[in-house]
């Protein structure tokens, strides 16, 4: 099943998110109560899902943990969600905001 169309400008959506990452190491340690901010990349306009008749999509949730070392990361043990809209959770310091456009304009001002 294809989870995205072929147009990188029309078939990828980004969104800011807040949630509880269901990653392998965090689940293993029982760390599923803390919420983190992050960003979601959603690849859309894939094949038609047989069970819903809607186009399939796949999301990559990247959560920011500023307390992790830059080289550390964690990810879900497999795809979560359902067959038509699966997603993967990841968490690392690399997903944290470095510099926003508004901060750049504030600095230049």
How many other C-beta atoms can be found within 10 angstroms of the C-beta atom of residue 56?
22
* CA-closest candidate to residue 26, choices 60, 68, 55, 56: 68
Query: How many Cα neighbours within 13 Å face the side chain of 93?
Result: 7
Express each pLDDT in 36-52 by its tens digit.
Answer: 999 999 999 999 999 99
In whole angstroms, what is the distance from residue 42 CA to residue 39 CA?
A: 10
pTM of the model: 0.81
Express each pLDDT in 9-26 by its tens digit.
Answer: 788 999 999 999 999 999
Q: What is the mean pLDDT of the chain?
A: 87
Q: Are 74 and 90 in contact (CB under 8 A)?
A: yes
């Amino acid at each position: 099943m294809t989870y995205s169309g072929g147009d990188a400008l029309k078939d990828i959506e980004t969104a800011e998110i807040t949630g509880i990452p269901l990653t392998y190491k965090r689940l293993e340690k029982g760390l599923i109560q803390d919420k983190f901010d992050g960003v979601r990349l959603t690849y859309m306009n894939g094949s038609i899902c047989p069970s819903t008749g809607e186009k399939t999509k796949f999301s990559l949730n990247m959560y920011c943990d500023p307390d992790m070392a830059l080289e550390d990361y964690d990810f879900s043990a497999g795809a979560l969600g359902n067959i038509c809209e699966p997603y993967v959770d990841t968490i690392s310091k690399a997903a944290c905001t470095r510099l926003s456009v508004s901060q750049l304009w504030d600095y230049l001002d």
